[in-house]
Chains A and B, each alone.
Chain A
């Protein structure tokens, strides 16, 4: 930018008061360098420690973390019907599957699935009550594992769910079969409290 330049600092060559008294191996390292490094490190640790509250304040608050539970009455849900309920601010599907849908899901070999890791077998995707597997009740998070849209029930190539946002197809066990979603629909923690009531959460 032009302008006046600062006069050159006097050259340190041969005038450095400390360098004459030092061994050649430590020629370039002075106690002042150590203080610089120590100060920078202490400063960096301090800044990092202070940064954490500013980062962590964005995580879910205690109110959001308080693990709510939702109890669902299954009795009014008819065969073939899917209802959507809210749990922890997220929608959850409760699907009363027909025998044909169950048979369809059970007959699908695991090797045909896109996601063979997250509870792939139909038997793993339902729970039991008093030792009886409740195959008719499928409970999954209503959030497409692609980008979080809510899939539409009974649509798509596999008649389970179809996500309108980017075209993911789920089967009658909520498993991803086609499209960009990477995973099967997630199953929330839940248990049967009676034959017709489940407690989610």
Chain B
């Protein structure tokens, strides 16, 4: 980034390549020598985890596509064929299905990390917006992938979600029929979803390259939320963060392994093992867990267009976050008021997720005499969600008195005294 590269080709071949396509130099500068703040905690490991899961989804997806048949009358059986007859088909499918859930789990932790530490603030607004775009394309990819097994949940999720577009005034119906390629969700819909589900992960990969590029211009943020000032504030990415990321990946793979090998259908719905039937809607349809908060927002208003607009608005508002948060202090560590509201917001998202999983007209029994309709809870949580961005964040920035920021990253790590850092400031191999 800063224009000076420490890459040194070691032999004739790499010297030859370096003057023709300096790709090794780019890799060295981006992932080996890249100066990284020395105070990153484990919340900074999700970028690596997400990259791994994107690769895993693409690889498992490509091999599943070798056995899957995208047609309304064969899709469901071809998935069962993968499960029973294809060698290791069960493993590949369970990895792909649970991999999607892990991908979303990691992306949510990654997003909440950004919210807590103010990762979206200048000069990282474009980096943040690229992240919101990645999240949006991820959602589209996950939705289309979910429809491919052509079970009851697949079919009705496809019906409900494509019907969102029928809420558009005047042209809604035409747009919906254009999406379907017919007058209802059918084979034409399934085939185009398959085509796009294959395409979009590569779009995500392209956006990820831009995301990393935008990250490497200002460099990583950090828990102290202050800029890197001297080389003592940083350590080289390799080996310090390659090892840390690798350890986090191992821990995360344990969770993944638990679901794949011991509870592969826990995050799914039993109804999706019933073949799609356009004549019967399951009594209780819910999306996958990672869409539940948005589903609750959709259901919270008694207006079709209003519900759809609120739901898309809940995602779009994230892109405006860099300008809605008026505080100039990045990290919530030094923002005593915002820190509380961050956790309120976190809990609010969990409540929305819970409400999204409950039946539309149910009630929460608190005790014999107190019953609260889920709808009411969902409405309050929806209002809080938007108030957090539109009211709370802009106001806190104006009234909050932040705690004093540390002078530098190295001082925030080693305390006031400074002194010799416990870890080496350079890659060990270069100290010899």
Contact = CB atoms under 8 A, between A and B. Distances in A.
Contact of A64 (B179, B181, B283, B304): B181
A44 interface: no
B164 A147 contact: yes
A148 B188 contact: no
Give chain A's interface secondary structure class: loop
B279 A86 contact: yes
A64 B183 contact: yes
B20 interface: no
B160 A147 contact: yes
B360 interface: yes
B159 A149 contact: yes
Contacts of B177: 59-60
A1 interface: yes
A61 B281 contact: no
A70 B188 CA distance: 22
Contacts of B160: 147-149, 165
B285 A149 contact: yes
A188 B279 CA distance: 17
Given A1-B3, A91-B279, A166-B360, A147 B163 contact: yes
Contact of B188 (A61, A150, A165): A61
Nearest to B295: A166
Nearest to A84: B279
Given A64-B188, A89-B183, A58 B360 contact: no
A182 B305 CA distance: 9
B360 A165 contact: yes
Interface string B176-188: 0111111110101
A149 B179 CA distance: 17
A180 B163 contact: no
A88 interface: yes
Interface in B144-194: 156, 159-164, 166, 177-184, 186, 188, 192
Contacts of B188: 60-61, 64
Contact of A165 (B164, B281, B303): B281
Given A59-B178, A180-B302, A146 B186 contact: no
B429 interface: no
B159 A180 contact: no
Contacts of A86: 278-279
A90 B360 contact: no
Nearest to A169: B361
A57 to B, nearest CB: 8
A55 B179 CA distance: 10
A179 B304 CA distance: 9
Nearest to A90: B184
B192 to A, nearest CB: 7
B163 A148 contact: yes
Interface string B288-327: 0000000000110111110100000000000000000000
B366 interface: no
B169 to A, nearest CB: 11
Contacts of B416: none
B280 interface: yes
Interface in B10-69: none
Contacts of A145: 304
A187 to B, nearest CB: 15
Contact of A181 (B180, B304, B375): B304
A89 B186 contact: yes
Contacts of B361: 167
B284 interface: yes
A89 B303 contact: no
B91 to A, nearest CB: 34
A90 B183 contact: yes
B4, B280, B301 pick with most chain A CB within 10 angstroms? B280
- 8 closest Cβ pairs, A-B complex: A2-B3, A167-B360, A147-B163, A148-B163, A147-B160, A149-B281, A64-B182, A150-B281
14 contacts: A58-B179, A60-B180, A61-B181, A64-B182, A147-B164, A147-B304, A148-B159, A149-B160, A150-B281, A165-B156, A166-B299, A167-B360, A167-B361, A180-B299
